[in-house]
Amino acid sequence: MMSGTIRIFNHHSKFSKGEWIKIMKVDSPKGIGVDSRGRILVADYTQGKVHSFALDHAFTIQSTRSVSNLSGPRYVCLAPEGGFIVSEECGDVKLFNSNHRLVGSLGTRYGHQFGSPAGVCADVEGNIIVADEQHRTVHLFPKSGSPICLVSKGLQKPAGVACSNSGMLLVADTKDNCVKVFKYRVRLPYNPDNPWVASGSPDLTPR
């Protein structure tokens, strides 16, 4: 954010350790992700935009598009069914389709009141997971049903969040200067009709 640049690591560089290449300059890049078509997504915090673009083999930017009128976009990730999800500081978490059209928000869809939504991710089942810095919580928003609070204690300032295919939840706690790991789902013997099952308690303890 300080330099306002987006860089990509070129692992094909002639240098043994590779090199970083500046590919774009925006006002204040915050979150970054990739959509279902392989386009790079960048949340531009002060401009209230999410930029979308593709890169060719020479790292040349192509097909640049932007979504505007966002209130402090912070983190962005791939949506379960294509498109992308973006969190807004002191606002909501909005969902866009692959054509960059707004299809709704989690706050409106689930009747959920966010404090300061930060990190967002989607798991293998299509659930959306959001870290809330102000409330110090992590919630899971299922395809159907009510939101589930996965973590309600043990966090100081949760920012980034990610999940693994094995049911591990990773939360970057910036105030504790660490990444906290939770187990929120249990792997069962393979069943094609129900390959995953929720754990018994939504209030979990870091491993």
Across 164-193, average pLDDT: 79
Tokens of 138: 């992590």
Q: What is the pLDDT of residues 91-134, one digit of tens each?
A: 899 999 989 999 999 999 999 999 999 999 999 889 999 999 99
pTM score above 0.85: no
End-to-end CA distance of the chain: 32
- Cβ-based neighbours of 60, under 8 Å, separated by 6 or more: none
What's the pLDDT score for residue 187? Answer: 46
Nearest alpha-carbon partner for 198 in 159, 148, 143? 148
Q: Are 180 and 171 in contact (CB under 8 A)?
A: yes
Q: Are 43 and 61 in contact (CB under 8 A)?
A: no
- How far apart CA 169 and CA 203 sit, in angstroms, is 13
What's the pLDDT score for residue 188? Answer: 44
Q: What is the pLDDT of residues 137-177, one digit of tens each?
A: 999 999 889 999 999 999 999 999 999 888 899 999 999 99
* Burial state string for 108-135 with b = 16 or more CB within 10 A and e = fewer than 16: eebebebebbbbbbbbeeebbbbbbbeb
Domains, in order of start, for the chain: 28-198 (2.120.10.30)
